[in-house]
């Protein structure tokens, strides 16, 4: 059973990281506690167990933790969405803008097919730039369905216009800066 107060008690917040004015919600403290990690994965599993998910795409790098565990529970494959230069075989890439420049995300070209039901998982939803690029990239494979999940959604951070509003999205915790 999900114990949100326990999760909140184990969530570390770091002010002014990575830049002044930002409050960083550090999920590594949730992952290092076995009960918290189990709660996260169990909650995601309960939400997605009947949706026919065949592939879970974990967004580098904290999306790999719960994403891989969830894929195992769902009996699905696990795909890594990586920063440039990390995947060894043929890949597809999608670029996106950040506050301080541009970046890209890549997936192996043979990772997903049109018969797949894909769940994209990342640790935290803030502006949505990285997950929007991952979503666009996954959609290029033409899967049957694409879902998105997060351990945490920051509800008071405005989402970018590019954030995919048509994708079914689920977040375990909904936080604001006042929760820090």
Q: Catalytic amino acids?
A: 62, 99
Q: What are the backbone angles phi and psi of residue 135, rounded to the nearest 5°?
A: -60, -50
Dihedral of alpha carbons 29, 30, 36, 41, sign = negative
Question: Do the Cβ atoms of 49 and 78 come closer than 8 Å?
Answer: no
- Which H/E stretch holds residue 124? strand 117-125
Q: Which H/E stretch holds residue 9?
A: helix 4-10
Residues 6+ apart with CB under 8 A from 100: none
Residue 147 C-beta-side C-alpha neighbours within 13 Å: 22
Q: Rg of the chain's alpha carbons, rounded to an integer?
A: 16
What φ, ψ does residue 122 adopt, rounded to 5°? Answer: -135, 165
């Amino acid at each position: 059973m999900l114990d949100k107060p326990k999760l909140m008690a184990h969530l570390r917040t770091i002010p002014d990281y990575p830049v002044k004015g930002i409050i960083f919600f550090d999920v590594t403290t949730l992952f290092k506690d076995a009960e918290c990690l189990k709660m996260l994965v169990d909650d995601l599993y309960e939400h997605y167990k009947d949706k026919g998910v065949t592939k879970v795409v974990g967004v580098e790098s904290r999306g790999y933790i719960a994403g891989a565990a969830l894929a195992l529970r769902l009996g699905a494959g696990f795909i890594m969405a990586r920063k440039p230069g990390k995947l060894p075989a043929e890949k597809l890439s999608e670029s996106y803008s950040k506050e301080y420049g541009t970046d890209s995300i890549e997936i192996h070209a043979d990772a997903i097919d049109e018969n797949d039901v894909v769940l994209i998982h990342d640790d935290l939803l803030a502006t949505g730039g990285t997950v929007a690029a991952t979503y666009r990239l996954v959609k290029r494979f033409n899967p049957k369905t694409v879902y998105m999940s997060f351990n945490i959604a920051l509800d008071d951070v405005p989402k970018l216009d590019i954030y995919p509003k048509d994708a079914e999205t689920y977040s375990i915790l909904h936080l604001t800066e006042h929760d820090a």
